[in-house]
Amino acid sequence: MTTETDAAEIAVDELTPDQAAAELARLGREIARHDTLYHGEDRPEISDAAFDALRRRLEAIEARFPALVRADSPSRRVGAAPATGFAKVRHAVPMLSLANAFAPEEVAEFLARVRRFLALEADQPLTIVAEPKIDGLSLSLRYQDGALVQAATRGDGVEGEDVTANVRTIDEVPQTLAPDGAVPAVVEVRGEVYMTRDDFLALNARRRTADEATFANPRNAAAGSLRQLDATITAGRPLRFFAYSWGETSEPLGATLWQVRDRLAAWGFRLNAPARRCGSLDEMLALYREIEGARAGTAHDLDGVVYKVDRLDYRDRLGAVSRAPRWAIAHKFPAAQATTRLAEIKIQVGRTGALTPVALLDPVTVGGVVVTRATLHNEDEIARKDVRAGDTVVVQRAGEVIPQIVRVVVENRPADDAARPRFAFPDRCPECDSLAVRDDGEVVRRCTGGLICPAQAVERLRHFVSRDAFDIDGLGEKIIETFWTEKLVRTPGDLFRLPETDATTTPRLQDRHGWGPKSAQNLFDAIAARRQIPLDRFIYALGIRQVGQATARLLARSYASLEAWRTAMIAAADRDGEAWHELTAIDQIGPSVADDLVGFFAEAHNLAVLDDLAAQLTVTPVAAPAAEAASPLAGKTIVFTGTLATMSRGEAKARAEALGAKVTGSVSAKTDYVVVGADAGSKATKARDLGVATLTEEAWRALAGFDA
């Protein structure tokens, strides 16, 4: 059987389906945590270069094996959940991230994909707007009748933080839009908050003088400044703003991106420059080289060039995948590298029992950022690179995250160093001394201690209250550890019983940890505020393997209620039963994810946790966006079969999902519509046999509003 480590060492075009599935599992776990640290907490722990390389490989495998794309794949996510301390804002139009390119060939493939999706002939013009990629914090500004009424961060792309008071202190954000003859009643202007290098250096100098912690780089400084709960602090920080996009509008802003840029400038916004309309790949790459050559002399940090389709009707048709628009791509600049000494390799234990090696580095500056740590992923990665404590290593970063180890500088090892032992990966858990095993097909070694392992128990509780899950304000890592040590909390349900034990809880915390009644009450209030939670957050909070935010949302939308989901997952234990087939028919949920779901519900202690929580909480359905709620396709299950004449299959599927439909690959009695194109096969026959409604392409276009 092929392990994930074996798969990691095989070129994408040589992977078998089994190897590809193992590799996607590994890559998904590697990427997910770092995505949250970067977007949600502004404290990344791997390099942008490492992060981008992992994502590139994952997307290449998914492109070659589309049937293996996992519902919790990082390619289906954007950012991380919004931070605590601010009111939440649900974006009327999601704020998406961008796919990345690192070579001219990948930019050429982007253009080819756009042409394929739109069914454009080679001689049909396709204009692209190219502009610098600013290294800052994404922001959405909502104007009503020309006046700024709300400002929100990206957050997880669906929900962000309300930072209106702070944004009003930024001089480059207009409080009212300069009239250009037609200011829409509602318009959301989107762009990037950033800090120039000179302003960043001056801010750090002031903080050193005041004996305050300094920021690692301009982006972190901008993010930290914007997220101040006290707006007067933000007002004292030198923040700036570039506009480059838009969200909800009450009327069209133009026919092309270039026209919209002109309107943004007329309204008083600064635009990132130089920008250029390009009619060919050569013109796009020429501007990339121009900006790359001049980046050292720019006032602010740049990390690449963004290419966007100019025609807005094309962009509407292209739409987006779950985390990124199809009509844009970021062409990233090459990674920076440096050399340092690897001082020590330590093992950390995660909530699923995974033993993860971490490299502790002698501090080194890479691309302007001082870094001291990097993940070593797993024991096979250590063996493959022959990494040992005391080695000189080459590290790299592109952006502002902690670097990956590229290679060991073997030539720097002393001639008499041959006897120095290689790193011996432990076969017992460093936290509880339980056996640590590595299952067939797994690259990760896991502690078998389960709930008796304090690291796993504490990590699971941390996950339960994390920002993407219950998001309980004030219940951070140290407090969770305190509650565990004091034996106040052992299961998630114990958290909601804390106020009931206030008579004993507060005095113990006050005596041993300096807590007062007010601190305890603030926490109890925050816990009480989370007694009602959407189903997708609840599912994610349970910490089921392979069930990330995207998968949790998909499950919540598919089963609607906690009781229906629980009943279906228990029934799915019968691999020949209807519940199993319904689960695996959900688009992007395959047998591997289904096995982990069924395995979770097969454990009696997990069912006890669910019963305990259900008795204390109100778990609500996931609210559909307004466009979906009003759609005749909302909640419908659709299957496409045959060749469509007026659009690509990808465009049809994207439109169905945007209107709230579920697209599956198999026909069942619960399928609502089968769209039948030319040369349809067995799916059309099965639909007729089951009495499922079939639609011609013309009828599908009318139902989906293409011809409205």
Residues tagged active-site: 133
Q: In whole angstroms, what is the distance from residue 601 CA to residue 596 CA? A: 9
Cβ(339)–Cβ(394) below 8 Å = yes
The closest alpha carbon to 470, from 527, 520, 525, 523, belongs to 527
Neighbours of 504 (CB within 10 A): 10
Give the total residue count for the chain: 708
**Cα–Cα dist 546/530, whole Å:** 24
Distance, in Å, from the CA atom of 537 to the CA atom of 144, rounded to the nearest integer, reads 31
- Report the C-alpha gap between 371 and 401 in whole angstroms: 8
Residue 503 burial by CB count (10 A; 0-12/13-18/19+): exposed, middle or buried? Answer: exposed
395 three-state secondary structure: strand
Question: Is the alpha carbon torsion for 221, 226, 230, 236 positive or negative?
Answer: positive
Structure tokens given for 274 = 């130089």
Contact 372, 361 (CB under 8 A): yes
Question: Reduced to 3 states, what is the DSSP secondary structure of residue 67?
Answer: helix
Closest by Cα among 431, 433, 463, 425 to 349: 431
Residues whose CB is less than 8 angstroms from the CB of residue 19 and which lie 6 or more positions away in sequence, other chains included: 2, 6, 7, 10
Cβ within 8 Å of residue 61, ≥6 positions away: 12, 15, 20, 23, 24, 27, 68
Mark 613-628 as b/e (b = at least 16 C-beta within 10 Å).
beeebebbebeebeeb
Alpha helices in 414-548 (DSSP H): 454-464, 477-485, 492-497, 502-513, 517-528, 535-541
Place of tokens 């009619």: 279
Q: How open is the CA angle 469-546-423, to the nearest 5 degrees? A: 105
d(CA 452, CA 437) in angstroms, rounded, equals 16
Specify the 3-state DSSP secondary structure of 402. Answer: coil
Written as six digits, the tokens of 455 are: 């690291």
Torsion, CA 322, CA 262, CA 301, CA 299, rounded to 10? -170
